[in-house]
Structure formats: C-alpha cells, structure tokens
Structure 1
Amino acid sequence: MIEKNYTITSDEGLHARPAAKLVASVSSFASEVKLEFKEKQVNMKSIMGVMSLGISKGKEIKVIADGADEERVIETVDELMKSENLGA
C-alpha cells in the first residue's frame, strides 16, 4: 500500500472537470484506489464519490493505492496533479 498527500492549489478546487480526469486516470489500474479527505474515504474510481467530498483550494487530500500496480497509480496521479495545476 502506498499513500501520498496533496494540497489542492487550483482556485476552483477539485471541481467536476479535474475530478473526472482523476477518476479516468486511475480507472484502468487493477489496484484499489481511495481518496481521503477529512477522514472520509471514497473510491477514487467513482466520480460521484470524488465529487461528494467537495474539496476546495488549500485543502489536503490523501491518495491511497493498494495492489499490484500501486506505484504506477501514484505516478499517474502525480503527473495529472502537475499537468492540470491541481495540487502539490
């Protein structure tokens, strides 16, 4: 299991478009991927789950990947966070 924290830097927070991109980026992986915010965990492969968290700018999130390709999951999320200017 790999966990990584990010601080959301986008002015709009984690709204619909970037949330959809995050979900799409991890959906093809075999690993279980969770997004944690304020002690609540949701399946990161679910757009409804991710959107339900209402994550705004400046908030810290944790991505948790567990499975055979967990390292690649985190690398993919890292790349998307940087390319979309979502977080650091």
Structure 2
Amino acid sequence: MEKSFKITASEGIHARPATLLVSSATPYKADVQLTYNNKSVNLKSIMGVMAQGIPAGAVVTISAEGPDEAELLNKVEEVIVTQGLGEKC
C-alpha cells in the first residue's frame, strides 16, 4: 500500500516534523518507506528522513508492507494533515 503527499509546511520536513513522522510509524510492525526524488529511506529512521532534505512543495510517497500497513499509513496521513505538514495528493 502507498499514499502520496504534497509537503505544504513552509520549512519542509526538518527536525520537528521528521520526529513526528518517525514517532508515528515506529509502533507498527509493517515495513515503511518514504520516497522522495527516487530515493527511499526507512520512515522509522530519523536520520534517514532528515537526510532526504525534503523542501516545501515536494511530493513524497509513503509505502508500507506488513500486517498493519493500513493502520500505519492512516496514522502517518493523520500526522501529516493535522500537524500542517502536507496534504494528500
């Protein structure tokens, strides 16, 4: 399963939003990847997410595979939307 989002936060995905995303994904068993500019990183890795250097206006894809993939993607979407980080594409 996967979902795409347009990042609307003016500062992009820096330390605070990266921490929120990693924290939202960590409790789940499914493997989850964040893809930006054809490069994928583990969404459970704060360093991996921050290393992407995702700016405002970027489109990212979050993909999950595992027993609780739907719940994980729903939680990540909730965090992105409610925290003002982005919107679903």
Classify the TM-score, shorter chain.
over 0.9
Counterpart for residue 40 of structure 2: 41
- Give 3-state SS (helix, strand or coil) of 2:86's partner: coil
Deviation digits for residues 14-69 of structure 1, max 9, x if unmatched?
01001001001000100000000000000000000000000000000000000000
> CA separation in 2, counterparts of 1:38 and 1:79?
23
TM superposition score normalised by structure 1: 0.97
- Opposite residue 50 of structure 2, the aligned amino acid is M
- Show structure 1 runs of 5+ residues with no match: none
- Show structure 2 runs of 5+ residues with no match: none
Q: What is the percent sequence identity of the aligned residues?
A: 43
- Give 3-state SS (helix, strand or coil) of 1:10's partner: coil
Taking only aligned residues, the RMSD between alpha carbons, in angstroms, comes to 0.5
> CA separation in 1, counterparts of 2:79 and 2:30?
18
Counterpart for residue 80 of structure 2: 81
TM superposition score normalised by structure 2: 0.96
Counterpart for residue 24 of structure 1: 23
- Give 3-state SS (helix, strand or coil) of 1:6's partner: strand
> CA separation in 1, counterparts of 2:76 and 2:19?
12
- Give 3-state SS (helix, strand or coil) of 1:33's partner: strand
Counterpart for residue 52 of structure 1: 51
